Amino acid sequence: MPTPSPTGPLVTRDSLAADLSGLGVRPGEILLVHSSLSSLGWVCGGAETVVRSLCDALGPHGTLVVPAQSGHLSDPAVWSSPAMPEEWWEAIRAGLPAYDPRITPTRGVGVVPETVRTWPGALRSAHPQTSFAALGPRAAEILDGHAPDCRLGEASPLARLERLGARVLLLGAGYDACTAFHLAEYRVPAPRVAVGRPGPDGWEVVTEVSISSDRFGELGHDFERDRPVVRGAVGAAGARLFPLADAVAYATRWLPVHRPRDEEF
């Protein structure tokens, strides 16, 4: 069979950096990026090129932040892709390695965040399931002190990004991936849940705010309708750029009305 032709357009480091600057990414700013590599086109150099182009657009004084989640460090009783036989649960709990920010891979956030995580000089926050990774002069300021019992709330990098005036870039990703909305979940009435995970001294359970991205697509649609969001193209990908604080404030008002926390997800 003939080899299929690559899906274009051809995207390079220079073209991506130019598109990012044209969209409005500013040198020296703090940028939280949610990305889909496959949406960009045929990227010469893959995820490495995307990271380099983001750093080019941000310049030496800018800071790049990405989600570096490791949700696989969780209770096998709640796994669904695939579900685990109940008779395996205890063995899995005993065998899962504890979180190590230097070693634990990301899961479910794409290849660009994994590339940032392993980049020379990158830092990573301490939460074993919902960490963030960052490159740049303000990385430590953003990531230090991520509390082990606060996935995406006031003691997480999201709250620091809000205070520091960071912006969010959705790079081929939808609003369902927008972690900023989760910070709003901590500011509205919310149930608390038991969260299991491997710890340094064995299996542990912590009590956490219940979080869910359910209906984030609808929330993002309304946010974009009512608030200024820069829209454009980066490579072949649709891109959106907006202040993180605006997204959190809007979601804090929207969620209690449209998705009360006593709903079952």
Which pLDDT belongs to residue 81?
A: 82
Strand partners, 32: 65, 168
Q: Report residue 255's pLDDT band, with 50, 70 and 90 as the boundaries.
A: very high
Of the candidates 224, 219, 251, 63, which has an alpha carbon nearest to the alpha carbon of residue 152?
251
pLDDT digits (tens, 9 = 90+) for 165-195: 999 999 999 999 999 999 999 999 999 999 9
Spatial separation of the C-alpha atoms in residues 250 and 255, rounded to whole Å: 9
Report the length, in residues, of the chain. Answer: 265
Q: Number of C-alpha atoms within 13 angstroms, CB side, residue 191? A: 12
Q: Parallel, antiparallel, or unpaired for β 10-11 and 123-124?
A: unpaired
Q: How far is CA 102 from CA 114, 118, 124, 141, in A?
A: 12, 8, 8, 18
Question: Beta-strand (E) ranges in 56-213?
Answer: 63-67, 123-124, 132-135, 167-171, 192-199, 202-209
- Report the predicted TM-score, pTM, of the whole model to 2 decimal places: 0.94
The stretches of the chain forming alpha helices (DSSP H) are 13-23, 46-58, 89-95, 111-117, 139-143, 157-163, 180-185, 216-226, 244-258
> Measured over all CA atoms, what is the biggest interatomic distance in the chain, rounded to whole angstroms?
58
CB 241 within 8 A of CB 23: yes
pLDDT digits (tens, 9 = 90+) for 77-119: 999 888 999 999 999 999 999 999 999 999 999 999 999 999 9
pLDDT digits (tens, 9 = 90+) for 139-167: 999 999 999 999 999 999 999 999 999 99
Dihedral Cα 166, 171, 176, 178, nearest 10 deg: -10
